[in-house]
Amino acid sequence: MGVNIIGSGSYVPDNILDNEMLSKLVDTNDEWIVERTGIRRRHISKDETTEDMALKACQRAIEKSSIDVDEIEMIIVASVTSDTKVPSTAFTIAGRMGLKNIICMDINVACSGYIYAIATAKAMMRDMGKKYALVVGAERLTKYVNWEDRTTCILFGDGAGCMILENEDLVEDRSVSKYKYEIIDYHLGGKPDVNKYLTIDAKDKIDDEDNLYIGMNGRQVYKFATDVGPKVIDKLLKDNSVDESQVYSFVAHQANMRIIECLSDRSNIGMDRWYTNIQEYGNTSSASVAIAFDEVVSRLESSDQDEGEILGKYLITTAFGGGLSFGGILMKIKKA
């Protein structure tokens, strides 16, 4: 029973905060930020909630795929910045879409959340015989940013991405898009962050105002990410007898350009094979891979490249983040 991604969509707020603007808020400058992170701009929500952005990403994915909304049987949202603890963001989105009798849940695995959500959706669709699922990554991280801390405020932005998963055994063939992406395998893991290298603490610790903000030990997160990233890729390739030359593109969590460059170096895969958009969005946590994947898909759909050079190739997405967590997904490009 195959589960394919048949559509994707993303949304970021129109409000932009570039490095020059940021330098007026905190002691920093464009050169310093770009050299250390690769980030030039980030999109900041002024009045849109996490749910608002998630819904817009879902609507764009549905519009491009042309599925019947009433056929959606599951929504899974990965987020650390949900607007309410109860109800979950997934149930709120379902209600705003007019859906009833639907499986909904939120997943909090920080920047790896979207990988975990895709894996969870695939397993549940296969075991429960569900036809369509929406898998969403949505974050309004800037509401937890300390704009006086130049080590963290330069990093984060807001946005959302969505993928539509289809259980191919339960539907007729579709031809809306040029390609679909079969989820071949995934690898998930993590270890307890006992030293609190990456945190957003609960508001019941409000006696210490710092607990309301994102806290991060950048050096330790870098070491963790650059250690586990190549291992995840290597495992996915070896377990599925895929050579790295068969991978069309690698889509990593957009946390820091230095991390992606290190992943490229340690895996001996040239930077030209790694898709990056961190320069435009910064780190959007659970939304990061989803937004990047949507852009990769959009390029593939509009490409005039010969289909023979694309069909049968693979995509690999990988992420790492709070927990400390990590994960990766191997997908095969097929004719829609």
Report DSSP letters for 111-144, one per residue.
Answer: GGHHHHHHHHHHHHHHHHT-SEEEEEEEEEGGGG
Quick check: 130 and 103 in contact, CB under 8 A?
Answer: yes
Please pick, among 43, 253, 256, 262, the residue that the annotation labels catalytic.
253
Active site annotation includes 104: no
Token pair 């927990």 is found at 323
Taking the C-alpha atoms of residue 32 and residue 76, their distance in angstroms, rounded to an integer, is 38
What SS3 class is residue 185? strand
Which residue in the list 111, 153, 162, 262 is annotated as catalytic?
111
Nearest to 190 by CA among 118, 117, 71, 110: 110
Q: What are the phi and psi torsion angles at 129 (to 5°)?
A: 65, 45
- As a whole number of angstroms, the distance between CA 99 and CA 189 comes to 33
3-state secondary structure of 148: coil
**The amino acid at 257:** M
Helices (H), the chain: 19-22, 30-37, 50-65, 89-96, 113-128, 218-239, 257-266, 278-281, 288-302
Distance from C-alpha of 209 to C-alpha of 152, rounded to nearest angstrom:
16
Catalytic site includes residue 43? no
Identify the sign of the CA torsion 67, 73, 78, 80. Answer: positive
Decide if 111 is catalytic.
Answer: yes
Closest CA to 122 of 77, 190, 183, 67: 183
Point out the residues that are catalytic. 111, 253, 283
